[in-house]
């Protein structure tokens, strides 16, 4: 399976647990924004690849992919006869000035090879209900998926279905609008604090509540900057290396919390790296 790395760490873990091979296609960091390099990816393909997984919006970088980027991916899938799984779980959490485009709307000519995934879990913090949506435009592909789900005896739970309906109601939409405004302020506070610490830089979030911070400018080893964040600042983070190649010098921070906690974390980070200032 093809992954554009760095990317959400669970993808590679689940693929390998299924005894399948992970093919990492490195994203290009272009002035603080990840981009896909399809010329390089074409050269990587051996013909054995069957599936590509897209994270849209991107986690951990927070990019909202542009239409031309998504069209490039559609063309890539056609060239190499790849099934496309488009994980769009953060699609509700997009900041002003950016617009998420659902992959099935990009190029109808590839709707026979698209599986789109969404869920209320990230937006409404209901991941424990294990309820999501699988959207498959093609009848034959949808029937194949349904057969496999039936064979595994996997079905949605009723509580999760009722909660999902409530989340996608007009009241839920109003709540999400307020949440995005709140998260945007959290993002600004956190980014400003990171910018004050020499050697640190955070990617500009266009979506999600997950900040992706580069520590390579500090000149520290991975163990050194992790120790400062975890042991000195006492902040729990996700290690960048777990997101695949290109993430080794990064840490991921969760900004989806009360503003006072974000402000406190910023103060702790400033103190932990005070000798650099």
Give the model confidence (pLDDT) of 213-222 as tens digits. Answer: 999 999 999 9
> Is 80 exceeded by the pLDDT of residue 233?
yes
User: What tokens does 161 get?
Assistant: 């279905």
State the average pLDDT over residues 161-187. Answer: 97
Q: Which residue segment(s) compose the domain that 253 sits in? A: 171-276
> Is 80 exceeded by the pLDDT of residue 277?
no
- Per-chain mean pLDDT for the chain: 96
> Is 80 exceeded by the pLDDT of residue 204?
yes
Sign of the Cα torsion 219, 220, 226, 232 reads: negative
| Residue 99 and residue 11 in one domain | yes
pLDDT of residue 199: 96
State the average pLDDT over residues 107-132. Answer: 95
| Residue 187 and residue 88 in one domain | no
Is residue 126 in a domain? Answer: yes
> Is 90 exceeded by the pLDDT of residue 264?
yes
Instruction: State the total domains in the chain.
Output: 2
Is residue 233 in a domain? Answer: yes
| Band of residue 32 on the pLDDT scale cut at 50, 70, 90 | very high
Question: End of a domain among 157, 188, 209?
Answer: 157
Q: Are 176 and 188 in contact (CB under 8 A)?
A: no
Sign of the Cα torsion 79, 26, 54, 201 reads: negative
pTM comes to: 0.94
Query: Which CATH number do you get for residue 193?
Result: 3.90.1150.10
| Residue 120 and residue 14 in one domain | yes
Is residue 140 in a domain? Answer: yes
Question: End of a domain among 124, 157, 190?
Answer: 157
Is residue 162 in a domain? Answer: no
176 burial class (0-12, 13-18, 19+ CB within 10 angstroms)? middle
Is residue 163 in a domain? Answer: no
Determine which of 146-160, 182-196, 205-219 has the lowest per-residue pLDDT on average: 146-160
CB atoms inside a 10 Å sphere around CB 16: 12
pLDDT of residue 229: 98
């Amino acid at each position: 399976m093809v992954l554009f790395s760095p990317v959400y760490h669970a993808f590679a873990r689940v693929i390998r647990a299924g005894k399948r091979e992970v093919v990492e296609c490195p994203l290009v960091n272009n002035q603080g924004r990840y981009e896909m390099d399809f010329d390089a990816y074409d050269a990587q393909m051996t013909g054995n690849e069957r599936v590509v997984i897209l994270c849209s919006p991107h986690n951990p970088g927070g990019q909202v992919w542009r239409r031309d980027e998504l069209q490039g991916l559609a063309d890539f899938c056609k060239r190499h006869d790849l099934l496309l799984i488009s994980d769009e779980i953060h699609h509700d959490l997009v900041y002003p000035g950016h617009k998420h485009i659902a992959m099935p709307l990009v190029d109808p000519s590839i709707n026979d090879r698209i599986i789109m995934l969404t869920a209320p879990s990230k937006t409404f913090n209901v991941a424990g209900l294990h309820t999501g949506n699988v959207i498959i435009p093609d009848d034959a592909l949808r029937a194949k998926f349904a057969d496999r789900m039936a064979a595994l005896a996997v079905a949605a739970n009723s509580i999760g279905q009722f909660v999902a309906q409530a989340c996608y109601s007009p009241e839920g939409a109003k709540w999400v609008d307020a949440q995005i405004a709140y998260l945007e302020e959290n993002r600004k506070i956190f980014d400003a604090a990171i910018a004050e610490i020499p050697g640190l830089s955070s990617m500009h979030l266009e979506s999600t509540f997950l900040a992706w911070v580069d520590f390579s400018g500090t000149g520290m080893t991975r163990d050194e900057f992790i120790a400062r964040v975890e042991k000195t600042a006492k902040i729990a983070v996700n290690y960048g290396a777990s997101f695949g190649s290109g993430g080794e010098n990064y840490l991921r921070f969760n900004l989806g919390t009360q503003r006072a906690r974000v402000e406190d974390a910023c103060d702790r980070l400033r103190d932990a790296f005070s000798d650099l200032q």
